Amino acid sequence: MQQEPNASLVGEEYEVEVGPVAHGGHCVARTESGRVLFVRHTLPGERVVARVTEGEETSRFLRADAVEILEPSKDRVEAPCPFSGPGKCGGCDWQHAKPGAQRRFKGEVVAEQLKRLAGLTPEEAGWDGTVVPAEGDKLPAGQVPAWRTRVQYAIDAEGHAGLRKHRSHEVQVIDRCLIAAPEVTELGVEKREWPQIASVEAIASTGSTDRQVVLTPKPGGRLPIVELDKPVSVLRVGEKDQQIHRVHGRPFVRERAADRTWRVSEGGFWQVHPKAADTLVQAVMQGLMPRKGDMALDLYCGVGLFAGALGERVGEKGAVLGIESSKRAVEDARHNLRDLDRVRIEHGKVESVLPRTGIDKADIVVLDPPRAGAGKQTVRQLAGLGARRIAYVACDPAALARDLGYFAEEGYRPAVLRAFDLFPMTHHVECVAILKPAAKGL
């Protein structure tokens, strides 16, 4: 019987030979008829039975899970986490791969995105092709680094804590997340019930003993009395204003990086890997090589991490301008850098604030945009400042590659690119690209 053109193919199974890894934590395969499958829980070179999880007859591609491994890869290991696998937790992508293979796959994805979106080979991007693990994360196969200092737990209808399934609102109840930092695990969020709560974000500072939970009640839900296994501050997300409000304890956590203490208020952004902030500051400063008297920009500056490192290095005759769209982060940045009068932090969107500052020249620039990237307009603005070096910090290789293409149109090329595995077991990878005017040498 012929299927309708828009008939769902969910549940259909195909025996396929698995091809290369693709951006997003899956591999590419094709059915005998040539239909493209994006398959999770498999590895390049394997032969598997893939069961469709999303897609219709008219879909350009189908999403699928490998439900049976017919010919395993030498890079495969048994997933250490019991909640990893088809139909289970969506938090990790590569529990079933050896750590070295995970980094190799991430490198292949970065290389593919650079080639496809920026027209660059690794050599042309100044990259040796490696993805470097964070200090302490180089563990044997079968062991999982416990690195995640911020975990967003979803709460199911019965009040049990868990994590979302892949591309789903369904909750996989768990008793422990293996990649959660020990200080998060010690809170015991998974042990208790959370009636009338939609989500619980657990935060453990890497620079102090500060711990925090941010509760989002269900519509009309009441806040429970929070009693966890360790002392903790409690914040809540307001139902009407969606703002974060203090319930009790400090409204911030104190982080430590770049030889400074950083206040991060009300669930604000901070790198989730304990080594990430120092790793990225070191890479950015080595790439920019700040000089005394430099005029520097820190765009999407958050609580001021790079602005602080630049402020220390440009000296009293230098100046640093940071721009950040989060009002709370701006307040934190101004507090964190109050001892550096050469640093100024402005509130607003980069594309709006930068033209209003009247700055028409900068010596060095660092930008750490959100996952979507900086975009063509901002890249054009930055290129017009004539900086001798620009450091681009990217959590998404596709956005990085797109923006590198825009920079190339404006006369800037990457001189150095480095990639760091700051999100082990997941498909995410952090990159730092150092750009310079194409006509100038090092």
Active site members:
395
61 forms beta bridges with 36
Note whether 79 and 71 are within 8 A (CB).
no
- Cβ atoms of 338 and 331 within 8 Å: the answer is no
**Phi, psi of 244, deg, nearest 5:** -95, 130
Q: How far apart are CA 163 and CA 143, in angstroms?
A: 21
Helices and strands per DSSP (H, E), number in the chain: 8, 22
Residue 403's identity, in one-letter code, is D
Question: According to DSSP H, which parts of 80-211 are helical?
Answer: 99-113, 182-185
Cα torsion angle, 225, 165, 81, 278, sign? negative
Q: Report, in this order, helix, strand and coil percent for the chain, each rounded to 5.
A: 20, 35, 50
Instruction: Compute CA distances 206 → 201, 254, 429, whole Å.
Output: 16, 8, 20
Dist CA 158 CA 193 (whole Å): 8
Q: Cβ-count burial of 258 within 10 angstroms (0-12 exposed, 13-18 middle, 19+ buried)?
A: middle
